[in-house]
Amino acid sequence: MKLQKNMDMKNLYDRYCLRQKHSLFLSLLVLAILYAVCVVTLILISDRPARENIAHLIPLCITAAVCFLVAVCVQVQALFRVLAIYFSVAVWFCLLSIVFVPMLLLEKTATKDNVAIVMCIIVFIYTMMPVNKIQALTASAVTSIAHLVLSGILSDRHVQCLNWQLIANAVIYLCMNLVGLYHKWMTDIAQMHTFMDTRYCIESRIKLEYEKEQQEQLLLSVIPAYIAAEVKRGIIVKMHQSTLDVSRRPSAPPSSMFHEMYVQMHKNVSILYADIVNFTPLAHGMEAAELVKTLNELFGRFDKIAQDNQCMRIKILGDCYYCVSGMPISRPTHASNCVKMGLEMIEAIRAVRQATGVDVDMRIGIHSGDVLCGVIGLRKWQYDVWSDDVTIANHMESSGMPGKVHITKETLMQLDENKWEVEPGNGAQRDELLKEHEIETYFIVPLKRKASIESESEVDLKALGSGPRGSIMSSTRVARYLESWEADKPFANITEGVVAKNIELTSLALIEASLLQPRRNSCWNFRYWINVEDIHPVSLHFTDTSLERLYYRQPDPVFKYSIACVSLIYFCMLIIQVFFMPKNLVLYISYGAIFFLFVILLGVSWAENVQISKSRHTAVLSSVSRMVTDGPCLRMFITTTTMAVLVAAAVITMVDCTLSDNKLKDSQSIVNFSQLVISDTTSLFVSTTNITRCQESSSNNCYFSSYYAYCCLLALTACSVFLQVNFLLKIFISLVATILYIVIFNYLRPDIFTSPDSETEFPLTQPVKYTIYVTLLFLTLHVIDRKIEYTSRLDFLWKTKFSFEQEEVETMGSVNKILLENILPAHVASHFLSPNRRTDELYHQCHESASVLFASIPNFFKEFYYQTDITKDGLECLRVLNEIIYDFDKLLLKPKFCAVEKMKTIGSTYMAAAGLVPGQENKHQTPHHHLIVLLEFAFAIIAILNQFNKDSFNEFRLRMGLSHGEIIAGVVGAQKPQYDIWGNTVNLASRMDSTGVVGKIQVTESTARVLEAAGYDCVCRGPVHVKGRGMLTTYFVRAPGMRSPENSRDRSFTLDMKK
């Protein structure tokens, strides 16, 4: 899969490079057509007969026609992708025909002619043709060598200094090839960076979408959507405020004495509580995997029933299930929805009972009223509901009867009397709270089931309950039967999200859409140059000035390579000038000073990379080198100075170029130089005969004036070497240079370019010819520079967007981490986020030794909580509970309590456990270290609540139950997955709390023995009746004196609840 992705990415990159070359290739075709048409027009209007110019006209016309045909064909992108190399070869042959056809057909051929057009062809090949580096080097080398060989063969052997001209031409071609390779190498790197930055940006965007999708799924698994938005916004605001400097943070509003609480009031809803009767003894015989699977199937079916009846599941408490109808969307049928759901739950469990013969049933309690719903605390958020009506609904379930739906009079009043039949429930006789509030209760009389349903149940009973049923444990029979329900697995959608399913294909598709989107514009359309609205279409500046400043100030790590390349061009110009130009004081002073300048620039720019020693001078040079790389103003000054110096150096010796007959003097200077540079062993290139002829036939100093034009072309090429410099600066200097050269060719010194002993039969004069070449090269370099500027700015734009996207990804990752920590324990979350996990398996763990704590505040709802206008229907009372839970949760952030996991809050009860993380036990710790840690946590929350009471003038008291032993942990529920623990240890801890005494920690006898062995003082309470266990001897753990926690906040508030 990875290899396939790499192949697809390589193919995509090749297509991207081809797309980048598409516009340049079209520009090449346009320039070739313009050149051919311009030269043909000038030839036709010249005085020479057309038949004498046929050798020039034929290749020019063919080139124009072929280029036009190719330009039409490449408008079809598919055709260009397939035939790009063939189009390039065709254009290359046409350009070669312009050079070589006249050379082969005409009688006179000069070695110093056609060099300019060959230089332009080399530039075309490296910069504009859709070929790779090897193909470009091959084509350029063939072009250069072919011209050198043919010009050497076809030229008159008696021409002045033939071998020197061939060497000079070879130097020029070598220089152009090296510059072309440099340009090709740097642009390929820039294209690769742009492609990779685009890829990273798009992949980060996909990752961001995946993070958002995953975050939504995780958050909505515990919190409804209408509260989830507030939770996310609150988290992001807090993260943003935490990154601000303390002095810049906004002052806290007066209400900041309270922490954020995401709770809303919903009126006129119905609450359903359901409990699976006789499930606890059934669960005792199940293995961990079997229990978790059974609960997941049951609660998965209940979730489906709730969804069908427009009910929202709130929470799972062991084998207890409760939900609400009428929120977040108000529904007039909320009571009917809950009743129908209760009946369907009873039917579902009856099917289990009839099919397996196991005595399990449902006890349902329903009440209608108002609720506060949301999340409280700092960690392990779970959506919950609070109100007096919720408490009544809970007691309706506990006072109900198995197999019946127990409703209050308030619920009955919401039902259609003609649709439902009821009978007295007498709940007040079985529950003190119902009796205290004089609540009338009723049982729903189920509608008569159809005979077909009864017969189907009998078939199920015979099929699944007969035969070996008696020999199979009841728990196993239930588990096997529930497998047929095929409930979804928890968090199955996390790894199968819309984005996550096809993330690889999505990445490739988006990259292709961003980099290879179809373009309606053609190369001569003005808008062709840019299709990004962030960049100005003319100047290519960013429309955002801050972005432009960042782009301008970015360092240029390749600047030293540009200096090296310009130095190479200068060296080639120096060789040509020494070969053929007057060797006078102007040459020595100008080129000597420039040589000294380039030595300094090379030393400064490369000092950081080439350190011979660690002396102080080397350190200074390195710092200067870094200043050049990082300083945009200094780089611009160096670039401007370098380009201006080379432009001037190309023609500076022309001031002393005359037509005087100083044959011997000038020829002798050439001989002296040849003797100085070329030893006797170079007779292969320069013979004594040639030197003598060069002496005798040289008519003036400027006989080789064509090489002035070639130096001008080299100087123009040098202006384009600085790839990272703003193209407006380059075009300005190049334009000034082009105008200067044209003026010199045609007005200031036309005499040296109109020598009467011209060797060729080219129909145009040399000033006109060189004017065309200079203009052609200027336009070519402008097109290239503009394309490079656009690519560079686009790359910077992608990098900037990538950085912004990366920040968003990191922010979402932090939010996601916070949400994970508030939904699942870290080791459970890592399991579900693992890409290698199997989605068809349920998460479950069996812990042989773990501890469970239940800590309740019994007097909170009995004495403190009131639903009045002053308390905003209990909202302000719940805010106090949120503060208490928040302080409890903060204790979990301390390293000493890292092994404690908050499980949930149930009303005003706080449930925590320890010893649930596999592999967390230290070999130096006792086997029951988790119990000690959890007990210390219990002592800590006692101290926290005492300090809270002191600050707020309240009298809240804790009643706590603690137990340890074997525990089964797992995640159940597909629509709203929930991490929970089950087992006898959990039930005992809950009973230790419910049967305990306010202000004390009650533990079982086995737990007390472990604590006493660890040095804690336990006092025997005596036998206590525990539901489901009979009489048990329990103990109270004596809490040591606890000091008030540090940094406690002053909460000087009281509420007059009873007004």
Residue type, 894: K
Compute how many other C-beta atoms are within 10 angstroms of the C-beta atom of residue 724. 19
Q: Which two tokens stand for residue 193?
A: 């960076």
Active site residue 991: yes
CA-based nearest residue to 322, from 304, 336, 342: 342
Cα–Cα distance, 326 to 338 (Å, whole number): 10
CB 422 within 8 A of CB 445: yes
Looking only at Cα atoms, what is the longest distance across the chain? 137
Compute how many other C-beta atoms are within 10 angstroms of the C-beta atom of residue 889. 22
Backbone angles phi, psi at 472, to 5 degrees: -105, 140
Which string of DSSP letters, residue by residue, matches 579-646?
Answer: HHS--SHHHHHHHHHHHHHHHHHHHHHTTTT--S---HHHHHHHHHHHHHHH-HHHHHHHHHHHHHHH
Helix axes 288-308, 334-356, angle to 10 degrees: 140
Give ∠ CA 964-967-971 in degrees, rounded to 5: 140
Cα dist from 525 to 21, 27, 276, whole Å: 17, 11, 75
Cα dist from 127 to 102, 179, 485, 773, 906, whole Å: 26, 10, 67, 17, 72
- b/e 771-791 (16+ beta carbons within 10 angstroms → b): bbbbbbbbbbbbbbbbbbbbb
CB 430 within 8 A of CB 399: yes
The strand pairing partners of 441, in sequence order, are: 408
CB 408 within 8 A of CB 392: yes
Query: One of 435, 1027, 1029, 1049 is an active-site residue; which one?
Result: 1027
Cα–Cα distance, 616 to 126 (Å, whole number): 42
CA-based nearest residue to 66, from 101, 96, 98, 29: 29
Q: Which two tokens stand for residue 820?
A: 């994970």
Active site residue 501: no
Rg value, the chain, Cα? 45
Q: Which two tokens stand for residue 94?
A: 């046409």
Cα–Cα distance, 273 to 320 (Å, whole number): 7
Strand, helix or coil for residue 868? coil
Give ∠ CA 222-228-230 in degrees, rounded to 5: 145
Backbone angles phi, psi at 926, to 5 degrees: -70, 160
Backbone angles phi, psi at 958, to 5 degrees: -95, 140
CA-based nearest residue to 268, from 409, 374, 370, 394: 370
Residue type, 679: S
CB 915 within 8 A of CB 851: yes
Compute how many other C-beta atoms are within 10 angstroms of the C-beta atom of residue 767. 19
Cα–Cα distance, 796 to 804 (Å, whole number): 12
- b/e 13-37 (16+ beta carbons within 10 angstroms → b): beebbbbbbbbbbbbbbbbbbbbbe
Strand, helix or coil for residue 971? strand
Cα–Cα distance, 191 to 197 (Å, whole number): 10
Q: Which residues are catalytic?
A: 991, 1027
